[in-house]
């Protein structure tokens, strides 16, 4: 078991430097353009694929890093470059993880390569879970998957929303209800292959921030997919549903309900790391500006009002990173989140990103309010961290329930 360390090892440092170089040389120069265009930055994704950043092999290496720090380190550096472009690069990973976690070896070997494409023609994938009436409340999901035994096909109907790469993806991974009586335990994940009839893009969202990342609704109308597109296979699903029905009887349904909250804990530190990257980027811009901008004959950092803000900003960023690293290490080493450490890291880092980017805008004054300086974009981007992957309110609810053992509502 890897010991928790406050410093990256030599191999991790080399990877971090490589990622930082890509973020500085490729992502940052393109950030303002793609933010304005509000389009998927295909040339940047293709360059990421060319050098190996956009690939399953790279993310698998980071995911299986025994220290747990590979993924948060990667996320921090890429999102330091730009949040919108970085999300376009890592968004496919959400779908890939869904297949890795639930799929058979054959499904993994078949579908994940199709998610990424190759350096000549890159592809993206979409993970479709949220719905118009089922965001934080995943138990309210309505998208149904019904098995047609005569043709060995699953028929999917419903609408997904807030899907990164939704509608433009080569492969969609869709979470649907197969047994409404089991709550979240009655959900299953399905592969929708390329060009499947009945799947279409609904509304594309024009967003406040992360504009370079494509976010849209995905509409499923009598989408028929082969039986082998059920992740894990039907036999495994039937066994899982039978166990869930028995446990629901024993626990009166409460255990089924609470299991969904625990599922998200391990993935939340990665979002925290994204927030750390954005906060760090804004802090660095503000620090440089404060040291070079002169008013009344001296740099503005000479004023305590500015200097103390920067001190607080850096302190919150470092504290956020430590919370993210702790939770990531715990997840990698199998330590239980007895105090909801995953939610703690996401909550604190997300709120830090919003606060630090707002302070950066203030330190730059009028310049910070213009698009001539990147902190305006960073401030808009930071707003998403307290919303997706569980709002800050949901994180506090998870933490409070975990600490108290009480059904706080």
Tokens in use for 284? 């660095």
State residue 261's pLDDT score. Answer: 41
Report the alpha-carbon distance of residue 171 to residue 356 in Å, rounded.
37
Displacement of CA 377 from its chain's centroid (Å): 19
Q: Quick check: 166 pLDDT over 50?
A: yes
Q: Report whether pLDDT(144) > 60.
A: yes
260 falls in which pLDDT band (50, 70, 90)? Answer: very low
Residue 266: pLDDT over 70? no
Task: Write down the CATH number for the domain with range 266-404.
Answer: 1.20.140.10
* CATH code for the structural domain at 10-116: 1.10.540.10
pLDDT at 244: 86
85 within 8 A of 33, measured Cβ to Cβ: no
Judged by DSSP in three states, 175 sits in strand
Which tokens go with 243? Answer: 């166990």
The per-residue pLDDT for 255 is 41
Q: What is residue 376's predicted lDDT score, i.e. its pLDDT?
A: 98
Distance CA 148, CA 228 (A): 13
The stretch 285-313 carries a mean pLDDT of 97
The answer, yes or no, to whether residue 262 has pLDDT greater than 50, is no
191-205, 262-276, 282-296, 332-346: which has the minimum mean pLDDT?
262-276
Q: If you average pLDDT over residues 306-323, what whole number do you get?
A: 98
Report DSSP state, residue 368: G
Domain ranges of the chain: 10-116, 125-251, 266-404
Q: What is the pLDDT of residue 359?
A: 98
Q: Is domain 125-251 in CATH 2.30.110.10, yes or no?
A: no
Asked if the domains 125-251 and 266-404 are classified in one and the same CATH topology, the answer is no
Catalytic positions:
389
- Compute CA distances 395 → 131, 272, 347, whole Å: 19, 12, 6
Task: Give the mean pLDDT of 29-51.
Answer: 98
Task: Using pLDDT thresholds of 50, 70 and 90, give the confidence band for residue 161.
Answer: very high
pLDDT-derived band at 265 (thresholds 50, 70, 90) equals low
Enter the tokens of residue 125: 């994938």
For the chain, give the percent of residues with pLDDT over 90: 85
Predicted confidence at residue 82, as pLDDT, reads: 98
């Amino acid at each position: 078991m890897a010991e928790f360390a406050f410093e990256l090892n030599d191999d991790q440092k080399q990877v971090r430097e490589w990622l930082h170089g890509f973020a500085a040389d490729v992502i940052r120069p393109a950030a303002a353009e793609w933010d304005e265009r509000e389009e998927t930055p295909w040339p940047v994704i293709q360059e990421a694929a060319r050098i190996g950043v956009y690939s399953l092999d790279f993310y698998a290496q980071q995911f299986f890093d025994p220290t747990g720090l590979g993924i948060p380190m990667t996320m921090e550096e890429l999102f330091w470059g730009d949040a919108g472009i970085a999300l376009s690069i890592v968004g496919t990973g959400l779908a890939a993880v869904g297949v890795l976690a639930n799929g058979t070896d054959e499904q993994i070997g078949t579908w994940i390569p199709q998610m990424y494409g190759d350096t000549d023609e890159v592809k993206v994938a979409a993970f479709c879970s949220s719905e118009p009436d089922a965001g934080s409340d995943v138990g309210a999901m309505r998208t149904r998957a019904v098995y047609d035994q005569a043709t060995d096909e699953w028929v999917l109907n419903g609408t997904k929303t807030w899907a990164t790469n939704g509608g433009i993806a080569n492969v969609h991974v869709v979470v649907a209800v197969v047994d409404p009586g089991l709550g979240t335990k009655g959900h299953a994940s399905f592969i929708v292959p390329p060009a499947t009839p009945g799947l279409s893009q609904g509304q594309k969202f024009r967003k406040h921030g992360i504009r370079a990342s494509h976010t849209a609704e995905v509409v499923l109308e009598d989408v028929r997919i082969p039986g082998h597109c059920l992740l894990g296979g039907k036999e495994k699903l039937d066994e899982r549903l039978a166990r869930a029905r028995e446990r629901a009887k024993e626990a009166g349904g409460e255990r089924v309900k609470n299991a969904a909250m625990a599922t998200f804990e391990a993935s939340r530190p990665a979002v925290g790391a994204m927030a750390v990257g954005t906060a760090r980027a804004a802090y660095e811009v503000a620090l440089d500006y404060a040291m070079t901008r002169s008013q009344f004959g001296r740099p503005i950092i000479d004023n305590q009002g500015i200097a103390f803000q920067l001190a607080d900003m850096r302190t919150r960023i470092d504290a956020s990173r430590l919370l993210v690293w702790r939770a990531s290490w715990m997840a990698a080493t199998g330590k239980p989140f007895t105090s909801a450490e995953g939610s703690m890291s996401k909550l604190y880092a997300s709120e830090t990103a919003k606060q630090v980017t707002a302070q950066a805008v203030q330190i730059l004054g009028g310049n910070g309010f213009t698009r001539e300086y990147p902190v305006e974009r960073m401030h808009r981007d930071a707003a998403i961290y307290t919303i997706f992957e569980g709002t800050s309110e949901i994180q506090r609810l998870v933490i409070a329930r975990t600490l108290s053992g009480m059904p706080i509502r």
